[in-house]
Structure 1
Amino acid sequence: MDYSLPVYILISVCSSVVVTYAFVRRRFGKKIKNFSSLERDIEERIARKSELNTQLIEANESLKNIKSETADLRQLKDSEGALIEAVECLKEEQGEISQNIKNARIQLSNIKNEMSELVPQLDLYSRLEDFVSYGHFETPDYLFETTERFEEEIRRVRDQQKELISSNRAVEIPDSIKLSQDEAQNKKILKGQSQLLLAAFNIECDFLIGKVSPSRFSRSLEQIEKLANKLEKNMLSLKCGITDAYIKLKFEECRLFYQYKLKKQEEQEEQRLIREQIREEQKAIREYEAAIAKAEQEEKIYRDMLEKAREELLLLGDEQKAAAESRIKELEEKLLEAEASERRAKSLAEQTRKGHVYIISNIGSFGENVYKIGLTRRLDPMDRVKELGDASVPFPFDVHAIIYYDDAPALEAALHREFSHSRVNAVNLRKEFFRVDLEKIRTATNKLTEKEAEFRTTIVAEEYYETKRLQEAHSA
């Protein structure tokens, strides 16, 4: 069998395949390479496209922002005239504010000058709180003599306040302020707020003035001023404030009411003193009447005894007459004493201004250099001193002087005026205690009575010093 032909054909086919493969590979190898590079280029372009899309989105956003800013700029340009007008208004307002500041500084300077003039007059009240706790402060120079006159003046000041309110001069209100587009509504708001401002100020001032006292007077004036400033700050946006004229009237009302209260208290104390004086006089009159009745009774007894003794004398012998005459002489002396006591009691009863001014101290109860200057019309002034040293104080009083005087109330009042700045209690004038040196009291008494009064400068205070000695011994 001949295999050469198939072999030849197989070889030919294989050769053809190899040749064809080599030809095709050679022919299409470059295209395949070009296709791979195209794929890479497409991928790069796709990535670039994605990057450009991102940039495009960002560019669109920027474009939107630019359009919005452009719209704002256009709006600003459209409102440029209104803005320029507003700036001009602000400049004018700034000029007004600067002028107001200048005027306020001038006003402040004027007020400081006024204050420098008023300080000497107000010095009386400036340090009351430093001394009132000790019961010591100056009584002001009253503007009027009676509380009724003070009440009338307070009503006059309040009428002036009402006049300022009715004439719209109590509160400063701007002519116009832009709160809304409705001008009538703006004025209505300003009027309502000014009424609230004034109502709050008046209510607070009435409370402060009603509570005024020696310890709170200067503080009350400061609080009224602070209140006005506080309310003005709260109304700053509306440019409203209380006028100086209205505040000055409130100061005046506070000063008048303070003096009115002090004067009222003085009048009440005077009435108490008068009532106490009447009670003392009535008690003295009862004592005088009792003393007169006693003297008349003693006089009658001694007259009867003397008449009887004289009758018996006629019946006695010579030996007994000497003793009887001695007895008659003794009875005559006692009768004269009884008649003198009756005359003295009647004289004192007829002249009620006569009496005794006493100066006493109680070192155990009130301390050193504290003396009571009082008055009594008792026949025995020591009765009054003993009454004062009863259970209300722990130790009895030492008596330094008891001065009989024809016008005892006038002498007592003069001594009280002389040492008014030294009162232990300057509010209650019934408390007649004074912190002063005894020698000054002696000098003033001698000057007023125009004679040398007998004074005891030694302070015995036996019970006090004995108590102190026992306490020291116990503590040791």
Structure 2
Amino acid sequence: MALLDFLRQKEFAEISALKNKLALLEKDIEIFREREDRLNHDILSLRNERDKLLKYKDVSDVDNEKERIIKELKDAKEELQKEELESKDNIEKLKKEAEELLEEIENKKKQVVELDNTILLQDYGMYSPVYDFADSEMYKDRLDAIRTEQKNMILYKTAATCSTNWTLNGSEAQGRVMTNQNIKQILRCFNDECDMLISKVKFNNATAFIEKIRKSYDALNKMNSKNAVSISYEYLELKVQELQLAYEYAQKKQEEKEEQRRIREQMREEARLQKEIEEARKDIEKEQKHYMNALLKLDKQLGECDEVEKEVLLEKKSEIERHLSDLDIAIKDIDYREANKRAGYVYIISNIGSFGENVYKIGMTRRLDPMERVDELGDASVPFKFDVHAMIFSDDAPTLETALHHAFENKKVNMINGRREFFNVTLEEIEEVVKANYDKTVEFVQIPQAEQYRESQKILKSLEIS
């Protein structure tokens, strides 16, 4: 990066120097124009004097002195005309030089590749992927093939060539050695710059770096034109392809990492759900067993009790049967959740202390207790806990989550990573989409408690006052 900064500063310094030179030339042009105006004025005055004297040319009293004056005036006129022509020539030369300077300044501006990331962001979205391989291994194989092609071109001396058979000190052999050294030098310079650019290529500079490689190719070929040495166009295109592949290969690897992370997270969620289901089933079955034992005991007591005790025991039996009925419903719910792998909760949560107003996370969990997932999200990685605005149970939670994400596709906070489920949208917009398309009965909490955040704000204000 230091080298690129140096080159950028050097380009700007050259442009500044050219602009200063242009300003001096323009000043010289102005001086010559003023001088030309004075000469024209002097010529006009001399012509007037000549015309006055010519009136007396044929008069008898015109003496030799007057003839001498006329001759001097003619000579002066010729000298002034000569100076006028020279001034015009100089002005034309200066104009041409100024035009050349302007053209050189424009070319220098085009050669400057701005490396500051904040300016390079204007190229965001300009790079269009050239390759569309299914996985990173295919990118890697193609990248290896491109690099092998480059090595072969160097090996067979087609990467750079010399169009002249030079002799050195009258020796063709020494001329070939000199040519090989020139070829090696131009390739080393080109490869070094390309390798540096390829190692630093990112989403916001890929297009600029491709242009930089092409300009380096043009500049090196121009610098070595006197030696008749030049890099081949085929080798240039291989370097451009290498940069494109290197960037897309890195992108594909990152996508695969994100996908693997998503799969691992999904597997962890499923494992947690299965553990929850097993523990809940075990607890319910244990509770059922206790109530069944109590029910058997009551049935035995009912067969041996009097009428007064019987009424109390029947009431107690009815209560136990209600508990057993509730437990049967709970078991059926657990069976349903275990059988239906897509049932779960879609949650809409916010964290105004961490992300500000109108930023909501729309996520999904299949946990039996969805608040466990919300509590996990509000761990030490954010300063405050999340507030729940809605918790929507669905037989197909992933589909509902995906539908809501698509509804607010253009309002994602992170437009690159789709796994970051934060959206810059109002709660009213979310509620409208949910109730219009999925569930009219969902209740939304409009104002988040954000208890710790609000208490923290009060403390900060009190400290400012004191």
Compute the TM-score of the two structures, normalised by the length of structure 2.
0.66
- Quote the offset at 1:341 in angstroms: 1.0
Looking at structure 2, the residues matched to 220 and 142 of structure 1 have their Cα atoms a distance apart, in angstroms, of: 18
Match of 2:91 in 1: none
Task: Verify: 1:312 aligned to 2:273, yes or no.
Answer: no
Looking at structure 2, the residues matched to 448 and 163 of structure 1 have their Cα atoms a distance apart, in angstroms, of: 61
- State whether residues 411 and 448 of structure 1, in contact with CA within 8 Å, keep that contact through their aligned partners in structure 2: no
Counterparts of 1:408-419 in structure 2, within 5 Å, are: 408-416=397-405, 419=408
- Quote the offset at 1:456 in angstroms: 3.2
Match of 1:379 among 368, 381, 395: 368
Match of 2:460 among 427, 449, 471: 471
Looking at structure 2, the residues matched to 210 and 168 of structure 1 have their Cα atoms a distance apart, in angstroms, of: 26
Looking at structure 2, the residues matched to 424 and 251 of structure 1 have their Cα atoms a distance apart, in angstroms, of: 33
- Quote the offset at 1:245 in angstroms: 2.9
Match of 2:239 in 1: 250
- Quote the offset at 1:137 in angstroms: 10
- Quote the offset at 1:201 in angstroms: 1.8
Task: Verify: 1:401 aligned to 2:390, yes or no.
Answer: yes
Change beyond 3 A, Cα 1:220–1:337: same
> SS of the residue aligned with 2:381?
coil
> What is the percent sequence identity of the aligned residues?
40
> SS of the residue aligned with 2:140?
helix
Looking at structure 2, the residues matched to 396 and 176 of structure 1 have their Cα atoms a distance apart, in angstroms, of: 77
Task: Verify: 1:129 aligned to 2:118, yes or no.
Answer: no
Looking at structure 2, the residues matched to 169 and 227 of structure 1 have their Cα atoms a distance apart, in angstroms, of: 18
User: How many positions carry a matched residue from both structures?
Assistant: 351
Change beyond 3 A, Cα 1:329–1:208: same
- State whether residues 126 and 218 of structure 1, in contact with CA within 8 Å, keep that contact through their aligned partners in structure 2: no
Change beyond 3 A, Cα 1:435–1:337: same
Match of 1:217 in 2: 206
Task: Verify: 1:171 aligned to 2:174, yes or no.
Answer: no
Match of 2:226 in 1: 237
Match of 2:146 in 1: 157
> SS of the residue aligned with 2:363?
strand
Match of 1:326 in 2: 315
Change beyond 3 A, Cα 1:187–1:137: closer
> SS of the residue aligned with 1:256?
helix
- State whether residues 210 and 240 of structure 2, in contact with CA within 8 Å, keep that contact through their aligned partners in structure 1: yes
**Farther-moved stretch of structure 1 (396-405 vs 333-342):** 396-405
Change beyond 3 A, Cα 1:155–1:467: same
Counterparts of 1:41-440 in structure 2, within 5 Å, are: 129-130=121-122, 143-162=132-151, 164-165=153-154, 168-177=157-166, 180-416=169-405, 419=408, 422-425=411-414, 430-440=419-429
Change beyond 3 A, Cα 1:261–1:310: same
Change beyond 3 A, Cα 1:435–1:203: same
Looking at structure 2, the residues matched to 131 and 261 of structure 1 have their Cα atoms a distance apart, in angstroms, of: 18
Change beyond 3 A, Cα 1:437–1:140: farther
Looking at structure 2, the residues matched to 338 and 201 of structure 1 have their Cα atoms a distance apart, in angstroms, of: 76
Change beyond 3 A, Cα 1:468–1:130: farther
Change beyond 3 A, Cα 1:181–1:142: closer
- Quote the offset at 1:385 in angstroms: 1.0
**Farther-moved stretch of structure 1 (368-377 vs 291-300):** 368-377
Give CA deviations for 1:361-393 in whole Å, capped at 9, x if unaligned: 101011122222222221110121122223332
Looking at structure 1, the residues matched to 260 and 328 of structure 2 have their Cα atoms a distance apart, in angstroms, of: 38
Change beyond 3 A, Cα 1:421–1:460: same
Unaligned 5+ segments in structure 2 are: 1-116
Residue type of the alignment partner of 1:407: D
- State whether residues 373 and 412 of structure 1, in contact with CA within 8 Å, keep that contact through their aligned partners in structure 2: yes
- State whether residues 123 and 207 of structure 2, in contact with CA within 8 Å, keep that contact through their aligned partners in structure 1: no
Looking at structure 1, the residues matched to 426 and 335 of structure 2 have their Cα atoms a distance apart, in angstroms, of: 38
> SS of the residue aligned with 1:404?
strand
Change beyond 3 A, Cα 1:246–1:273: same
Give CA deviations for 1:56-87 in whole Å, capped at 9, x if unaligned: xxxxxxxxxxxxxxxxxxxxxxxxxxxxxxxx
Looking at structure 1, the residues matched to 439 and 178 of structure 2 have their Cα atoms a distance apart, in angstroms, of: 75
- State whether residues 173 and 240 of structure 1, in contact with CA within 8 Å, keep that contact through their aligned partners in structure 2: yes
Give CA deviations for 1:414-467 in whole Å, capped at 9, x if unaligned: 544555554444566554333334344445556775777543333332322232
- Quote the offset at 1:202 in angstroms: 2.2
Larger C-alpha radius of gyration, 1 or 2?
1
Match of 1:107 in 2: none
Change beyond 3 A, Cα 1:164–1:266: same
- Quote the offset at 1:140 in angstroms: 5.5
- State whether residues 342 and 397 of structure 2, in contact with CA within 8 Å, keep that contact through their aligned partners in structure 1: yes
Change beyond 3 A, Cα 1:253–1:406: farther
> SS of the residue aligned with 2:303?
helix
Task: Verify: 1:456 aligned to 2:445, yes or no.
Answer: yes
- State whether residues 378 and 385 of structure 2, in contact with CA within 8 Å, keep that contact through their aligned partners in structure 1: yes
Residue type of the alignment partner of 1:145: A
Looking at structure 1, the residues matched to 261 and 446 of structure 2 have their Cα atoms a distance apart, in angstroms, of: 32
- State whether residues 269 and 429 of structure 1, in contact with CA within 8 Å, keep that contact through their aligned partners in structure 2: no
- Quote the offset at 1:164 in angstroms: 4.2
- Quote the offset at 1:303 in angstroms: 1.4
Give CA deviations for 1:178-227 in whole Å, capped at 9, x if unaligned: 66533443233223311222233223322321332224323432332343
Looking at structure 2, the residues matched to 247 and 191 of structure 1 have their Cα atoms a distance apart, in angstroms, of: 19
